[in-house]
Amino acid sequence: MAKGHHDTLVYRLSQMLVKLNQGEHLDPKSLADEFGVNLRTVQRDLNERFAYLPLLKKEGRYHLDPTFLGKLSLKDIQHFAGLAGIQGLFPSLSNDFLRDIFDHQMESALLVKGHHYEDLRGKEKAFKTLERAIVDRQKIHFSYTKEGVTKQYSDVAPYRLVNNKGIWYLAAVDSGKLKTFAFTRITNLSPTEISFEPEPEISQRLEAEDGIWISEEPREVVLRIAPEVAGYFQRRKLIANQVIEKELENGGLIVSAKVGHYNQVIPIVRYWIPHIRVISPDSLQRDIEEQLKAYLQSPASTPQLSGVHHE
C-alpha cells in the first residue's frame, strides 16, 4: 500500500477531528465529496476508526459531545488521527513517525476504548507480500491452519485485506468461490506468475458487506430493541448490515440485518438479553431460547481455567 495513501488517510482523519473538536456537525455525504472518497469510507471513519470518541448522531450528522469540545490540541488531533488510521490498521507501515504517540500527558488525558488490534509483529513481510499480490493481481499459494488441521491452497485470487473488529482477513476467490481467511492462520505464502482479472461484482460485494461472513444467499434477521438500549443501536451499527426499520412509540426500535451467517447476530442478542428479541425468523429465537435453557439446566462444574484453550 503506497505511502501516499497513508498520508491522505491521516490528513482526512486529522481534518475530521479538527472539525469535530471545533463543534461542527459532520454530514458523511459532504465529507465524502470533500475528500474524494466514497460514502462507506467516511462512515467507516466515523463508526469504527473514531469508535473511542464520544460522538453523537442527530438527523444523520455526527458531532462531538459538547462536554469534550476543545479538549484536544492540534498535536493531539494529528497523533490520534495517526493512531486511528495507521497504527494497528496497517502493520506494514513504519511506526517511526508515531514514536511519541503515547507520552505521559496523552495517557492521562484520554482513555481509548476502540478496537484492540491483533499483534502482527513478525508477519509484516507476509502482509506486504499479500498487499503486493492484491495490487498486482497475482494468484497465490499458501497453507492455512484451522482447528489444528493444515490445508494447502493453490492458485487463489486475492481480492482484499479486510479488517473486521481489529482482526485481519483475506477475502479471496478459491475454485470459483469467494472465501475469507484469517490472516494470522496463513503460512508459507508465495505469489505465483499467474495473473487474474478481478470481477466487479465480487469487489462490489466486499464493499457492501459489513462483516467477514460471506454467503451467496444472505439471510434477513429482524430484531426488536427495547427502549433502554435503543440509543446504542442508533449511535452505531452493532450488527453487520444493520438497518433501523422503525422507531417505536415507546422509544424502542425495529432493526433488520442481512447476514451471511446467524453467528453474526447470536452473540449480540445474547449480550443484550433481556433487551433484545428476534422477531424473524422465529426459529432463530427458539434456538437461542433452547440454548439458554440448556445452559441454565446444566449442572455447575468445577472451573478449570488453566485448561481452557482458544484458537
Find out whether 143 and 188 touch, Cβ atoms under 8 Å. Answer: yes
Question: What CATH code is assigned to 3-109?
Answer: 1.10.10
User: What confidence score (pLDDT) does residue 165 get?
Assistant: 65
Question: What CATH code is assigned to 219-297?
Answer: 3.30.70
124-208 and 219-297: same fold? no
pLDDT above 70: residue 78 = no
Pick the CATH number of 124-208 from 2.40.50, 1.25.40, 3.40.462, 2.30.30: 2.30.30
pLDDT above 90: residue 195 = yes
User: What confidence score (pLDDT) does residue 87 get?
Assistant: 46
The percentage of residues in the chain with a pLDDT greater than 70, rounded to a whole number, is 71
Cα torsion angle, 35, 40, 45, 50, sign:
positive
User: What confidence score (pLDDT) does residue 228 get?
Assistant: 93
Domain ranges of the chain: 3-109, 124-208, 219-297
Q: Residue 283 and residue 149: Cα distance in Å, rounded?
A: 32
Total-model pTM: 0.47
User: What confidence score (pLDDT) does residue 100 get?
Assistant: 35
Residue 49 pLDDT class (50, 70, 90 cuts) = confident
Residue 52 pLDDT class (50, 70, 90 cuts) = low
Find out whether 214 and 178 touch, Cβ atoms under 8 Å. Answer: yes
Q: Residue 117 and residue 87: Cα distance in Å, rounded?
A: 9
pLDDT above 70: residue 62 = yes
pLDDT above 90: residue 53 = no
User: What confidence score (pLDDT) does residue 12 get?
Assistant: 83
pLDDT above 50: residue 306 = no
